[in-house]
Amino acid sequence: MRYTTKVNKRLFDIIGSVVVLGGLAGWWLTHTPAKHPAKASATTHAPAAAPAATETDKFNKTQFSTTDPSSLWVIVNKQHPLSPVSYAPNDLRYPNVPLRVTGATEMQMRTAAASALEQLFAGAKTAGYSLMVSTAYRGYEYQKGLYNGYVSSQGQAAADQESARPGYSEHQTGLAVDIRASDNQCSLDACFGTLPEGQWLDANAYRYGFILRYPADKTAVTGYEYEPWHFRYVGTALAAEMHTQHVETLEEFFHVSGGATYR
């Protein structure tokens, strides 16, 4: 009888332990957060990033017109005359720099270009070079007389290599300038490019917003022979961008036709 009682007591103790353990297990299951599969890294399913924009992509080529005659970026060549051909800028002034002929109309430039030219000449002076304006703005009638003079003396084919027809000249925009050394050495001659003054201009004009408009070996593009004295104001942003990209001509930069054939 005592043995049975002990057995029964032992059995109840075991059953009680099982019940307690089962309760603890249930509590643990209901109060422990379920484990979830590890989240994929943020980049696992993210769309591929677009290629980083290059400096070239960032440059806005449509900021200014290349056809409006009053635009800083207007392109004038044998394929693209000014429209109207009789265009004349309304903000011409004399730059405060040495001029070949004081007070002559062809010494003027548009205001922005004149201001930039003053800075360019100051930079050249600081570097030890003395420059002078040979000619700048040339109106339609002035260009007509100049071109006809070349035709009379050299014939039209030769004239077209050296002088623009009226309405097709960059000088008519008021943004172009022919520069010479103050001592007049190699004035309007290819040898100007070999002078210290010409070399300094070729290397530094872009800093002031000017480009050498008719580089060597670009006659097929621009339609004109090498003119190391002829500089065109396009603004510092475009001049710097062309310098960075190593693109020498407006035609190549903007993918605009040029060449030696008149339209």
Query: Following DSSP, what letter does each residue of 91-109 receive, concatenated?
Result: -EE--SS-BSSTT-GGG-E
Q: How far is CA 241 from CA 237, 238, 249, in A?
A: 6, 5, 12
Residues 6+ apart with CB under 8 A from 9: none
Q: What is the CA radius of gyration of the chain?
A: 39
Q: Would residue 227 show up in a list of annotated catalytic residues for this protein?
A: yes
Q: How far is CA 10 from CA 6, 17, 22, 27, in A?
A: 6, 11, 18, 26
**Catalytic hit among 170, 227, 241, 248:** 227
CA angle 117, 122, 60 (to 5 degrees): 45
Instruction: With beta carbons less than 8 A apart as the criterion, state whether 258 and 249 touch.
Output: yes
Q: Residue 217, class by beta-carbon neighbours within 10 Å (0-12 exposed, 13-18 middle, 19+ buried)?
A: exposed
Q: Which amino acid is at 149?
A: G
Catalytic residue positions, numbered:
227
